[in-house]
Amino acid sequence: MIRKRFTRFVLSYVLVGLIVAIAVVWLAPEILDQRRPVVRVDQSNGVSTSTEASAERPFSYADAIDRAAPSVVNIYTATRSPDPRNVLFDDPLFDQLFGSTDAVPDPALDTSLGSGVLVGNAGHLLTNNHVIQGAEQIQIMLADGRTIPARLVGSDPESDLAVLKADTNELPHITLAPTEGLRVGDVVFAIGNPFGVGQTVTQGIISALGRSELGLNTFENFIQTDAAINPGNSGGALVNARGEVIGINTAIFSQSGGSMGIGFAIPARLAQKVLTGIIENGRVIRGWIGVQIQDVADITRGVFVAGVLPGGPADEAGLQRGDFITHINEQRVQSVRHLLSEVTEQAPNTQVLLTGERDQKSLTWQIRVAERPTNLSQDGPQSPPQR
């Protein structure tokens, strides 16, 4: 009797186990699959997706440089040096005493180098005025090694920019990018030909924006960068991380002549205005009223009129030395640079309204803007900036 009960007990549990096993196999077979996952290894065919590529190599700005570098050229110039001969050589008595001086060599051609940026499909280049100033011969070398002649279309010493033209078809070129969104800390690259070693790329960031009062040019609104800029980089491109040209490299602050991490570039916005003006008019047309002005410690008083050009627009409107200008077209004047910029933006023959004071009395002057003469500072002739 006991054996029958034991057998029934065992069979009942076996039956329950079978029912549970069948249920598991039927409803949850993955519980029984304890095998290790199979890892499939495919042989690479040399082509990887962008995700795979980013995992296989470090981050790079090579694509940005590839977009901009072909449009940056090396510029070689030849300038006639002063006649090295002594003036006595031209005296007829000298010929009688020592014979003919025809063997004395002609003045030599001094060579120099710089950089430039091809900015249009018509073969126009932007560079610095000081790179090509006085040049009798200009040659450009493209990134692919071709060397072709170029000629000067026009220059603007007050912004230190010049436009060249290479009369060759199918040249690489790039457009100038808007610069309104630039921020301090943006990654930038300087592309040029430092010391004549060939096209070189250096990396840095934007260190400051709107730099002025440096005494380099009349119109200063520089992008400051710590990307290495050296002699020969002048006229080359300052490029952002997307490969867009945001400036034209123009100067360095240096006590040794080499890069010290303080370089300056002309913003693309100003460069575009100069480029358009020279191509369309042969010169840059700016407004001018004929005053010499100075900043004052009390900004609420505007700027001080230190001199008025006789017969100029300001003189005809009644401005006098000793006046203060506080507003232009109802906009408060912040500084000499601010007023200079506002005036030069005006087209010749337009009217501007100046507000200010004389002997603590408020006055207004209606002035007809004239075209700014070439090679002027705010108040008169200006010698070329020293570099």
66 catalytic? Reply is no
- Alpha carbons 329 and 256: distance in angstroms, whole number: 45
Q: Dmax of the chain from CA atoms?
A: 158
100 catalytic? Reply is no
- Alpha carbons 71 and 65: distance in angstroms, whole number: 10
Catalytic residue (choose from 71, 124, 130, 156): 130
234 catalytic? Reply is yes
Give the DSSP letter string of 226-265. -S---TT-TT-EEEETTS-EEEEEEEE--SSSS--S-EEE
Interacting residues of 189 by C-beta distance below 8 A, sequence separation 6+: 61, 64, 65, 68, 201, 202, 203, 204, 227, 238, 239, 240
- CA angle in degrees (0–180, nearest 5) for 212-244-142: 100
Interacting residues of 73 by C-beta distance below 8 A, sequence separation 6+: 115, 116, 117, 118, 125, 140, 141, 142, 143
Catalytic residue (choose from 160, 207, 226, 323): 160
Catalytic residue (choose from 71, 112, 159, 234): 234
Instruction: Kindly list the catalytic residues.
Output: 130, 160, 234
